[in-house]
Amino acid sequence: MKNNNFLNTYKESDIEIKKGVKILFIGLFLEILSFIFILSVAILQNKLTKNLLFLLVIMALLCLIVGLIFCIKSYKRVLEFEVLRLENEYKGKELYKLNNVNKSDVEKVLYSNKFKKDGMYYKKKKFNLMRDSITYYFRLVDSKRINSCVNRESELFNEIEKNKTFCLCLFIYLDNIDVDSINETKNLAKKFIVYENVLNPYIKENTVFVIVNKNNGEGYFLDIGKKHRLSIYNKGCKIIKKYFK
């Protein structure tokens, strides 16, 4: 997934967010009121005076225009509200744990499920009813830092010529996993979920990454759960759990 600074622009207070949501509801109310005025003109045109009909038309146009302005004005705040809502949804969620995901074990599982080695990746296309097909790319790398590794691998992945929909399943092998590693994984993974499900629902690619402790082969990733079933991130979580649960 390409880097996107949009997530980092939300630094306003909760009061501003709530204000934006209120503006949206006011805008929607005015749009409904406009429809009621237009409907009244259509039904009562033979019973009302021309002046009253003219007034209703003017009221309908004013409500329509002002309501539209309010809806447009509230868009950024409402989007911010959705971002924070989704981030809070996964704030207290524990990472999903995998056992025995050392490199050799992962490679055996991938080969046994007919993944083919393609350069740095293990690749397989699977049929998907909603997206025609999804191509999964598994990549196993050693690293000292999670964030820089994810950014670097995302940039490398973007350089590959790909068709239709695809998902990068990135296994990052660390010397040790501590509380900071867990929190960093959770915070970074939330951005991938938010980006696809709020900011860009028509995206054709996403990344699910797993941090793995080299010493014991235990892996951890943020599972999206049963929600957002149509998202690429959801499909990536499913295939990882299917092969390595």
| pTM of the entire predicted model | 0.71
Which residue from 79, 94, 75, 86 is spatially nearest to 192, judged by alpha carbons? Answer: 86
Domain encompassing residue 40:
5-89
Q: What three-state secondary structure class fits 160?
A: coil
Residue-wise pLDDT for 11-37, tens only, equals 444 555 566 667 778 888 888 989 888
Question: Where would I find the H helices in 93-173?
Answer: 103-112, 146-158
172 neighbors 146 (Cβ within 8 angstroms): yes
Mark the ranges of the chain whose per-residue pLDDT is less than 70.
Answer: 1-21, 74-75, 78-79, 129-132
Token reading at 102:
């050392």
Residue carrying the six token digits 């790909």: 162
Token reading at 227:
């929600």
Q: What three-state secondary structure class fits 1?
A: coil
pLDDT of 129 reads: 63
Of 40, 58, 89, which closes a domain?
A: 89
149 neighbors 141 (Cβ within 8 angstroms): yes
Of 33, 66, 89, which closes a domain?
A: 89
161 neighbors 53 (Cβ within 8 angstroms): no
pLDDT of 17 reads: 53
pLDDT of 16 reads: 57
Domains held by the chain: number: 2
Query: Do 78 and 102 fall within a single domain?
Result: no
Of 30, 58, 89, which closes a domain?
A: 89
pLDDT of 20 reads: 63
pLDDT of 241 reads: 95
pLDDT of 175 reads: 95
User: For the purposes of burial, counting CB atoms within 10 Å of the CB of 50, is it exposed (0-12), middle (13-18) or buried (19 or more)?
Assistant: exposed
Query: Do 58 and 152 fall within a single domain?
Result: no
Measure CA of the first residue to CA of the last residue in the chain; give whole Å. 25
pLDDT of 5 reads: 47
Query: Do 157 and 217 fall within a single domain?
Result: yes
CA–chain centroid gap for 7, Å, is: 11
pLDDT of 3 reads: 45
Residue carrying the six token digits 């010529």: 161
